[in-house]
Amino acid sequence: MEFIKIRFTNNFDGMGSKFEKTIAEMFNTMNPRFSFTQSSWKPPIDIFETPEGILIIAEIAGVEKEDLEIEINSRAIRMSGRRAPSPSTDKGRYRLAEIQYGVFERVLQLPVMIDPEKVTASYKKGLLQVHLTKLTREMAYKIPISED
């Protein structure tokens, strides 16, 4: 059985400014071959919540499992990866190019605290599914207060 890398973290800093990403996305939309750095894209995501947990589904067809990474803490999840471009030929030219290639990254703030030790992920038919279990109240720690 192969596993998807899941890394636990407390810090999602260093992701680059929103302004830089917005400018890069604007130029990639106008001409996918023009880019300041590596091209990036955002896969569509569904988030489904039940009383017990959260299911996140990302549509990432064409991404190899080895190129996926998931980082998680109790309040957020970061999914990232890379989709390699399809081989091109010199004998023709694109008439339409809508499929996005390159790196992707999605950082989602979770609506509730989750248990980072009860996270599972699967990848099948181009869909990444991440199952998160909500942190129950029983798992909250009560700290006794001493009388000094």
Instruction: Please check whether residue 136 is in contact with residue 51, taking contact to mean a CB–CB distance below 8 angstroms.
Output: no
Q: What is the pLDDT of residue 47?
A: 94
Class of domain 42-84+100-136: mainly beta
For tokens 């703030």, what's the residue?
Answer: 109
pLDDT (tens digit per residue) in 64-101: 999 999 999 888 999 999 999 887 777 888 788 888 99
Structural domain boundaries in the chain: 42-84+100-136
> How far, in Å, CA of 56 to CA of 46, rounded?
6
- Cβ count near 124 (within 10 Å): 8
Q: What is the pLDDT of residue 35?
A: 45
User: Which element (helix H / strand E) includes 2?
Assistant: none
Distances (CA, A) of 138 to 67, 115, 134: 37, 12, 11
For tokens 């001493």, what's the residue?
Answer: 146
> Which of 132, 81, 139 is closest to 111 using CA atoms?
132
CB contact set of 10 (below 8 Å; sequence gap of 6+) = 73
pLDDT by 10s per residue, the chain, length 148: 556 666 666 666 554 555 555 655 555 554 445 444 456 899 999 999 999 999 999 999 999 999 999 999 888 999 999 999 887 777 888 788 888 999 999 999 998 999 988 999 999 999 999 999 998 766 556 677 888 7
> How far, in Å, CA of 148 to CA of 146, rounded?
6
Instruction: Please check whether residue 130 is in contact with residue 79, taking contact to mean a CB–CB distance below 8 angstroms.
Output: yes
> How far, in Å, CA of 126 to CA of 136, rounded?
32
Q: What are phi and psi of 70, to 5 degrees?
A: -125, 130
Does the pTM of the predicted model rise above 0.85? no
